């Protein structure tokens, strides 16, 4: 495993880390055994950053992470998020006071079986009142409940607001071969301001693995909306575009490797956090750190997916 410094922290985190949304059950049923084995397989392979959220499976993901890593060593970091629990239930946004964030933090600590959270992230991409999160985060940091705080957003103005006092440790952003708009402003801002970057959806929810066809249908909670209308058209278009990446793959390098290595090639990126629902996924995702894209590879990708554009 390779390691990279995460933003303003002194942490060296695994260049491929583990996203724990999938084990919450919203991407299809995942047994507790498979989830725990995936976490342990990732840890055995050198992964030391595990990203979850209170809203993932309404607490189930945090509970599984806590069960697997509750007595974690000092060099293992747990990142979780606050801001989407109410929206997952009834599209209501209750985070209007610092006390709601305190309560959410305490609940996450209980599920994680921990006295502190390493990285606590605002889970609202464009918070109406970022100052509430900042006040709550600073208080929680002073109390020792969290070590650093951050935001998950694709919006530069939201990131700037969360970094108003210069203390935002990282930003979690949707970035991949298919979604390159963060290259315009958000990623450069992160690099200039020593803000770490956790890349969510580096595989574009599985599309960049090349395992889907235009006929693929979905029944999981996250992707079933892709079965109809404009979302279906976008999905089919993306599958077609990914076919043009296949000449870059070979016996020693899969499309999954290419997708993760693409994110790692950007100097602003700390690590991608692909989902890992079982041991096979954990091992195949982690293996991507063993290679890197050449300048020629990157030029070929640019020809199909121009820099700064979304597809």
> Per the structure block, which two tokens stand in for 89?
């239930």
CA geometry: angle 188, 190, 196, nearest 5 deg? 135
Domain boundaries, the chain: 3-304
Largest CA distance in the chain: 54
pLDDT at 88 over 60: no
Q: What is the spatial distance between Cα 284 and Cα 16, in angstroms, rounded to a whole number?
A: 11
- The string of DSSP letters for 263-278 reads HHTSTT--EE--B--S
Per-residue DSSP letter, 26:
B
The larger pLDDT score, comparing residue 195 to residue 91, is at: 195
Q: What is the spatial distance between Cα 249 and Cα 258, in angstroms, rounded to a whole number?
A: 7
* Res 66: pLDDT: 97
* Res 96: pLDDT: 76
Backbone angles phi, psi at 127, to 5 degrees: -65, 135
Which residue in the block uniquely carries the two structure tokens 């870059």?
248
How high is the mean pLDDT of the chain?
94
pLDDT, mean of residues 246-250: 89
pLDDT at 285 over 50: yes
* Res 243: pLDDT: 93
* Res 175: pLDDT: 98
Q: Could you read off the pLDDT of 21-70 as tens digits, one per residue?
A: 999 988 889 999 999 999 999 999 999 999 999 999 999 999 999 999 98
Q: What is the spatial distance between Cα 26 and Cα 7, in angstroms, rounded to a whole number?
A: 30
* Res 207: pLDDT: 95
**Are the C-beta atoms of residues 48 and 289 closer than 8 Å to each other?**
no
* Res 93: pLDDT: 52
pLDDT band at residue 254, thresholds of 50, 70 and 90? very high
Using alpha carbons, select from 149, 172, 12, 122 the residue that is nearest to residue 76. 12
258 membership: H or E segment, kind and range: helix 255-264
pTM for the model = 0.95
* Res 234: pLDDT: 94
Identify the CATH class of 3-304. alpha beta
pLDDT, mean of residues 12-21: 98
**Are the C-beta atoms of residues 308 and 38 closer than 8 Å to each other?**
no
* Res 85: pLDDT: 79
pLDDT at 183 over 80: yes
* Res 87: pLDDT: 58
Q: Three-state SS for 165?
A: coil
Q: What is the spatial distance between Cα 32 and Cα 126, in angstroms, rounded to a whole number?
A: 33
The least confident of 123-127, 196-200, 232-236, 251-255 is: 251-255
pLDDT-above-90 percentage for the chain: 87
The least confident of 17-21, 172-176, 250-254 is: 250-254
Q: What is the spatial distance between Cα 258 and Cα 254, in angstroms, rounded to a whole number?
A: 6
């Amino acid at each position: 495993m390779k390691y990279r410094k995460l933003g303003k922290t002194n942490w060296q985190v695994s260049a491929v880390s583990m996203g724990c949304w999938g084990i919450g059950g919203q991407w299809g049923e995942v047994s507790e055994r498979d989830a725990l084995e995936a976490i342990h397989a990732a840890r055995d392979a050198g992964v030391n950053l595990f990203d979850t959220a209170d809203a993932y499976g309404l607490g189930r993901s945090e509970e599984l992470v806590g069960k697997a890593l509750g007595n974690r060593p000092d060099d293992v970091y747990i990142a979780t998020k606050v801001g989407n629990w109410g929206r997952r239930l009834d599209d209501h946004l209750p985070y209007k006071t610092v006390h709601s964030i305190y309560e959410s933090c305490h609940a996450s600590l209980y599920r994680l079986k921990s006295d502190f959270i390493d990285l606590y992230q605002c889970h609202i991409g464009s918070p109406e009142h970022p100052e509430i999160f900042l006040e709550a985060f600073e208080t929680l940091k002073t109390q020792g409940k969290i070590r650093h705080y951050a935001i998950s957003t694709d919006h530069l103005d939201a990131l700037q607001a969360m970094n108003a006092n210069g203390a935002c440790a990282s930003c979690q952003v949707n970035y991949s071969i298919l979604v390159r708009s963060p290259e315009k402003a958000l990623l450069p801002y992160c690099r200039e301001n020593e803000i770490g970057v956790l890349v969510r959806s580096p595989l574009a929810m599985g599309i960049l693995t090349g395992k889907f066809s235009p006929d693929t249908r979905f029944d999981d909670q996250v992707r079933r909306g892709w079965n109809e209308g404009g979302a279906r058209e976008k999905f089919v278009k993306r599958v077609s575009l990914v076919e043009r990446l296949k000449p870059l793959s070979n016996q020693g390098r899969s499309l999954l490797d290419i997708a993760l290595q693409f994110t790692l090639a950007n100097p602003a990126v700390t690590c991608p956090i692909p989902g890992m629902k079982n041991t096979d996924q954990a091992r195949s995702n982690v293996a991507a750190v063993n290679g890197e894209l050449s300048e020629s590879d990157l030029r070929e990708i640019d020809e199909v997916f121009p820099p700064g554009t979304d597809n």
